[in-house]
Structure 1
Amino acid sequence: MYVLLGAFLCVAKERGTKMKIFGTNVFNDSVMRERLPKNIYKSIRSTIDNGLPLDPGVAEVVASAMKDWAIERGATHYTHWFQPLTGLTAEKHDSFISPTDDGRVIMEFSGKELVKGEPDASSFPNGGIRSTFEARGYTAWDCTSPAFLREEGSNVVLCIPTAFCAYTGEALDNKTPLLRSMEALSKQALRMLKLFGDEETSRVVSTVGPEQEYFLVDRAHYEKRMDLVLTGRTLFGAKPPKGQEMEDQYFGSINERVSAFMHDVNREAWKLGISAKTQHKEVAPGQYEIAPVFSLTNIATDHNQLIMDVFKKVANRHGLVCLLHEKPFAGVNGSGKHNNWALATSGGKNLLDPGKTPHENAQFLTFLCAVLKAVDEHAELLRASAANPGNDHRLGANEAPPAIISVFLGDQLSDILAQLQNGGVTHSIAESRMNIGVNTLPLLRKDSTDRNRTSPFAFTGNKFEFRMVPSSLSIAGPNIVLNSIVAEALCQMADRLEEAEDFQGELKKLLKEIALQHSRIVFDGNNYSEEWVAEAARRGLSNISSTVDAIPAWVTAKAVALFAKHGVLSPTELHSRYEILLEHYSKTINIEAQTMLYMSKRQIIPAGLKMLQSLASGISAVKAVSSVPVTVQEGLLIQVSDRMVNLDRSLKALEIKTKEAQVIGEVFERGVFYRDHVFTAMANLRMAADQLEELVDQEYWPLPSYAEMLFRL
Structure 2
Amino acid sequence: MEDEKDMCPASIFGSNVFNDSVMKTRLPKVTYKSLKKTIEQGLPIEPSIADVVANAMKDWAIEKGATHFTHWFQPMTGITAEKHDAFISPTNDGKVIMEFSGKELIKGESDASSFPSGGLRATFEARGYTAWDCTSPAFVKDGTLYIPTVFISYTGEALDKKAPLLRSAEALSNAALRILKLFGNTSANHVTATVGPEQEYFLVDRGLYNKRLDLMLAGRTLFGAKPPKGQELDDQYYARLRMRVSEFMHDLDYELWRLGISAKTKHNEVAPAQHELALIFDSANVATDHNQVVMETMRRIAKKHGLACLLHEKPFDGVNGSGKHINWSLSTDEGQNLFDPGKTPRQNAQFLLFLSAVIAAVDDYADLLRMTVASAGNDHRLGANEAPPAIISIFVGEELSAILESIETGKPYEGIERKTIDIGVTSLPNLPKDSTDRNRTSPFAFTGNKFEFRMAGSSQSVASPCYILNATVADTLSRFADRLEKADDFMSEVRAIVKETIKKHKRIIFNGNNYSEEWVAEAARRGLPNITNTVDAIEVLKEPKNIDVLARTGVMSKAELDSRYEIHLENYSKIINIEALTMIQMANRELIPAALTFLNQLAALNANLKSAGAKSKAASDLLTKVSGLVDDFEAYTIALKDAVEAASAIDNPKESAVAYRDKVIPAMANVRAVADELEMLVPENIWPIPTYADLLFRV
TM-score interval, normalised by the smaller of the two chains: over 0.9
The letter for the 2-side match of 1:61 is V
Residue 358 of structure 1: CA displacement?
8.1
Q: Map of 1:259-278 to 2, 5 A cutoff?
A: 259-278=246-265
Q: Are residue 101 (structure 1) and residue 92 (structure 2) matched?
A: yes
1:234 equivalent in structure 2: 221
* Secondary structure at 1:516 match in 2: helix
Identify the residue that residue 672 of structure 1 maps to in structure 2: 658
Counterparts in 2 of 1:683 and 1:635: CA distance versus 1, 3 Å: same
Specify which of 673, 683, 689 is matched with residue 669 of structure 2. Answer: 683
Q: Is 2:341–2:347's contact at 8 Å kept on the other side of the alignment?
A: no
Q: Choose from 672, 693, 698 the match for 1:707.
A: 693
Q: Secondary structure at the match of 1:451?
A: coil
The 8 Å contact of residues 22 and 270 in structure 1, kept in 2 or not, is answered as yes
- SS of 1:118's partner is strand
Residue 429 of structure 1 deviates from its aligned partner by 4.6
Q: What amino acid is aligned across from residue 85 of structure 1 in structure 2?
A: M
Give the aligned partner of residue 643 of structure 1.
Answer: 629
Partner residue in 2 for 1:525 = 512
Whole-Å separation in 2 of the counterparts to 1:228 and 1:149 = 31
8 Å Cα contact 2:133/2:150 also seen in 1: yes
Q: Give CA-to-partner distance per residue, 1:54-113, whole Å, 9 cap, x none.
A: 111111100000000000111100000000000100000000001001111100000000
Shift of 1:617: 1.8
* Whole-Å separation in 1 of the counterparts to 2:569 and 2:434: 43
Find the aligned partners of 2:442 and 2:659 in 1 and give their Cα distance.
Answer: 31
Contact 1:416/1:425 (<8 A) preserved = no
Summarize the Cα distance change of 1:269–1:703 in structure 2 as closer, same or farther, 3 Å threshold: same
Indicate how the Cα distance of structure 1 residues 302 and 448 shifts in structure 2: closer, same or farther if over 3 A, else same.
same
One-letter amino acid matched to 1:464:
F
Structure 1 residue ranges without an equivalent (≥5)? 1-10, 431-444
Q: Partner residue of 2:427? A: none
| Structure-2 residue corresponding to 1:63 | 54
Distance 1:509 1:696, change over 3 A: same
Q: CA deviation at 1:13?
A: 6.5
- Per-residue CA deviations over 1:404-433 (Å, capped at 9, x if unaligned) read 000000022111111110247867659xxx
- Which residue of structure 2 aligns with residue 439 of structure 1? none
Instruction: Please say if residues 311 and 458 of structure 2, whose CA atoms lie closer than 8 Å, have aligned partners that are also in contact.
Output: yes
User: Which residue in the other structure is 2:71 paired with?
Assistant: 80
Residues 474/226 of structure 1: CA separation in 2 closer, same or farther (3 Å cut): same
Percent identical among aligned pairs is 61
Gaps of 5+ in 2: 418-431
Given the alignment of the two structures, is residue 213 of structure 1 paired with residue 200 of structure 2, yes or no? yes
Superposition RMSD in Å: 1.6
Distance 1:359 1:287, change over 3 A: farther
CA distance in 2, matches of 1:664, 1:683: 22
1:289 aligns with 2:267: no
Deviation of the 1:545 alpha carbon = 0.3
Structure 2 counterparts to residues 89-168 of structure 1, below 5 A: 89-151=80-142, 156-168=143-155
* Structure-2 residue corresponding to 1:371: 358
Q: 2:34 aligns with which of 39, 43, 48?
A: 43
Contact 1:429 1:448 in 2 (8 A): no
Once residues 402 and 225 of structure 2 are traced to their aligned partners in structure 1, the CA distance between those partners, rounded to angstroms, is 48
CA gap 1:307/1:620 in 2 versus in 1, 3 angstroms? same
For residues 592-611 of structure 1, the aligned pairs below 5 Å read 592-611=579-598
- Which residue pairs with 1:400 in the alignment? 387
Q: Which amino acid aligns with 1:631?
A: K
Q: 3-state DSSP class of the match of 2:8?
A: helix
Bigger mean CA offset, 665-674 vs 313-322:
665-674
Normalising by structure 2, we get a TM-score of 0.96
Distance 2:626 2:587 in 1: 15
8 Å contact from structure 1 (residues 358, 364) kept in 2: no
Q: Distance in 2 between matches of 1:446 and 1:174?
A: 32
2:16 to 18, 25, 38: 25
**Counterpart of 2:394 in structure 1: which amino acid?**
V
1:34 maps to which of 25, 33, 43: 25
Conserved 8 A contact 2:435-2:448: no
Deviation at residue 263 of structure 1 after TM alignment: 0.2
| Aligned-partner residue type, residue 20 of structure 2 | D
Structure 1 distance, partners of 2:7, 2:102, is 36
1:53 deviates by: 1.4
Matched-pair contact (CA < 8 Å) for 1:579–1:667 = yes
Q: Which amino acid aligns with 1:83?
A: Q
Distance in 2, matches of 1:623 and 1:682, equals 38
Moved more, 631-640 or 587-596: 631-640
Q: Structure 2 counterpart of 1:656, which letter? A: D
**Matched residues in 2 for 1:359 and 1:617: separation?**
86
Asked if the contact 1:423–1:512 (Cα under 8 Å) also holds between the matched residues in 2, the reply is no
1:433 matched residue in structure 2: none
Shift in CA distance, 164/96, structure 1 to aligned 2, threshold 3 Å: same
Instruction: State the one-letter code of the partner of 1:411.
Output: E
Residue type matched to 1:566 in 2?
Answer: T
Q: Which residue of 2 aligns with 1:384?
A: 371
- Structure 1 residue 502: deviation in Å? 0.6
- Normalised by the length of structure 1, the TM-score is 0.94
